[in-house]
């Protein structure tokens, strides 16, 4: 099954989700279950001016039926957290989770706000090496560190951590996307990958990680450390590549500039696959029926393809 958690009730998540469902067949929709608050659903569908009926366990929109579970958050919960936690109670290894966008103050674990969905899962499941991946139609990008301060990057990136993240990613890409990566390109941490030590020696950890990974993946070509600002120049249509960046804002400007909304934010290393759109809540667009659903439709189609192949 493919479970969809609501996200922020004042964001565009439900809007882009329901717009996307209009392009899916009933057979495809039969594999999805939405966990969301019925009032938030109704408010969104009224804004979209779509004919709908909310029943006990399904929603009918423009004649298409979608299974759903009504969630009601109490005063100590948010709808984002409540819908997510309800799904986590029942999700199985063969299932897929799609999380709609929320804000960082809405994801709470042990009374603490989390920096994002991936960070929530790290704390919830106590797995530090979970990987944040971004995928588009012809590229996979791994962020070695994601939602942490820049000052903490070099403290986080030791050899074991880097090797573990890349191993998890390569194995997960093969498992879920049936793809054997044959080249991994890894950026340096410093500008120009340190200029041979002139700009710092932090990038030596990349070289030692590659030596370690070569033992596990002898058939994969691993290159690095390479300058982060020109890593994308190594893109090849003849190779199945994984691009690895040291930190969040080193890898994502290029990715989002090239692919726009056609990107998927993926958490790898869980028992199940978690996917999301690569954009945020866009609070300024809430209730205006102006948000583009192209990115969400891309995620839903990819999730259904993976689910069907399995």
Is the model's pLDDT at 74 over the cut of 90? no
Rounded CA-CA distance 242/264 in Å is 15
Rounded CA-CA distance 281/303 in Å is 21
Q: Provide the pLDDT for residue 112.
A: 80
Q: What is the mean pLDDT of residues 233-247?
A: 92
Is the model's pLDDT at 205 over the cut of 70? yes
Total residue length of the chain:
310
Q: Is 168 found in the same domain as 264?
A: yes
Q: What would the DSSP string read from start to end of 105-152?
A: GG-EETTEE-SSHHHHHHHHHT-TT-EEEEEETTEEEEESS-SS-GGG
Q: Is 16 found in the same domain as 75?
A: yes
Q: What pLDDT band is residue 32 in, cutting at 50, 70 and 90?
A: very high
Q: Is 81 found in the same domain as 31?
A: yes
Q: Is 65 found in the same domain as 180?
A: no
Q: Is 259 found in the same domain as 145?
A: yes
Structure tokens at 80: 């984002």
Smallest CA-to-CA distance from 266 within 297, 292, 303, 291 is with: 303
HSE at residue 8, side-chain half, CA atoms within 13 A, is 22
Query: For 134-174, what is each residue's pLDDT tens digit?
Result: 999 999 999 998 888 888 888 889 999 999 999 999 999 99
Q: Provide the pLDDT for residue 304.
A: 97
Q: Provide the pLDDT for residue 147.
A: 80
Q: Is 287 found in the same domain as 216?
A: no
Looking at mean pLDDT, say which of 66-70, 79-83, 102-106, 197-201 comes out highest: 66-70
Q: Provide the pLDDT for residue 194.
A: 65
Q: What is the mean pLDDT of residues 184-195?
A: 86
Contact predicate 189/203, CB 8 Å: yes
Rounded CA-CA distance 161/247 in Å is 13
**Which 3 state secondary structure label does DSSP give 187?**
strand
Q: Is 221 found in the same domain as 183?
A: yes
Q: Is 239 found in the same domain as 158?
A: yes
Query: For 220-233, what is each residue's pLDDT tens digit?
Result: 999 989 998 999 99
Is the model's pLDDT at 198 over the cut of 70? no
- Counting the structural domains of the chain, the total is 2
Smallest CA-to-CA distance from 240 within 165, 298, 178 is with: 178
Q: Is 261 found in the same domain as 284?
A: no
Q: Is 17 found in the same domain as 113?
A: yes
Q: Is 84 found in the same domain as 181?
A: no
Q: What pLDDT band is residue 210 in, cutting at 50, 70 and 90?
A: very high
Q: Provide the pLDDT for residue 286.
A: 93
- Domain of 305 in residue numbering reads as 1-127+270-310
Is the model's pLDDT at 129 over the cut of 90? no
Q: Provide the pLDDT for residue 152.
A: 83
Backbone angles phi, psi at 161, to 5 degrees: -65, -45
Q: What is the mean pLDDT of residues 24-29?
A: 96
Report the 10 Å Cβ neighbour count for 230: 12
Rounded CA-CA distance 135/154 in Å is 25
pTM (predicted TM-score) = 0.93
Q: Provide the pLDDT for residue 193.
A: 76
CATH number at residue 279: 3.40.718.10
Averaged confidence pLDDT in the chain: 92
């Amino acid at each position: 099954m493919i479970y969809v958690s609501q996200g922020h009730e004042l964001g565009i998540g439900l809007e882009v989700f329901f717009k996307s469902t209009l392009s899916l067949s009933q057979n495809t929709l039969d594999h999805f279950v939405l966990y969301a608050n019925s009032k938030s659903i109704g408010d969104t569908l009224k804004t979209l001016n779509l004919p709908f009926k909310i029943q006990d366990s399904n929603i009918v929109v423009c004649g298409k039926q979608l299974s759903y579970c009504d969630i009601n958050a109490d005063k100590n919960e948010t709808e984002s957290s409540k819908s997510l936690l309800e799904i986590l109670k029942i999700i199985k290894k063969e299932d897929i989770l799609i999380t709609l966008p929320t804000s960082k103050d809405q994801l709470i674990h042990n009374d603490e706000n989390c920096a994002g969905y991936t960070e929530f899962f790290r704390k919830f499941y106590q797995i530090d090496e979970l990987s944040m991946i971004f995928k588009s139609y012809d590229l996979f990008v791994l962020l070695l560190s994601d939602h942490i301060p820049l000052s903490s990057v070099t403290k986080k990136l030791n050899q074991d951590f880097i090797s573990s993240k890349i191993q998890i990613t390569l194995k997960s890409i093969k498992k879920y996307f049936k793809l054997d990566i044959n080249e991994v390109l890894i950026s340096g941490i410093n500008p120009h990958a340190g200029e041979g030590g002139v700009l710092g020696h932090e990038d030596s950890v990349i070289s030692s990680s590659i030596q370690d990974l070569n033992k596990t993946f002898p058939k994969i070509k691993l290159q690095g450390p390479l300058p982060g600002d020109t890593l994308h120049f190594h893109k090849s249509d003849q190779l199945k590549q994984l691009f690895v960046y040291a930190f969040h804002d080193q890898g994502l400007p290029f990715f989002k500039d090239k692919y726009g909304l056609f990107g998927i934010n993926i958490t790898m290393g869980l028992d199940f696959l978690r996917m999301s759109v690569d954009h945020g809540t866009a609070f300024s667009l809430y209730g205006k029926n102006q948000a583009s659903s192209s990115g969400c439709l891309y995620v839903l189609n990819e999730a259904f393809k993976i689910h069907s192949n399995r």
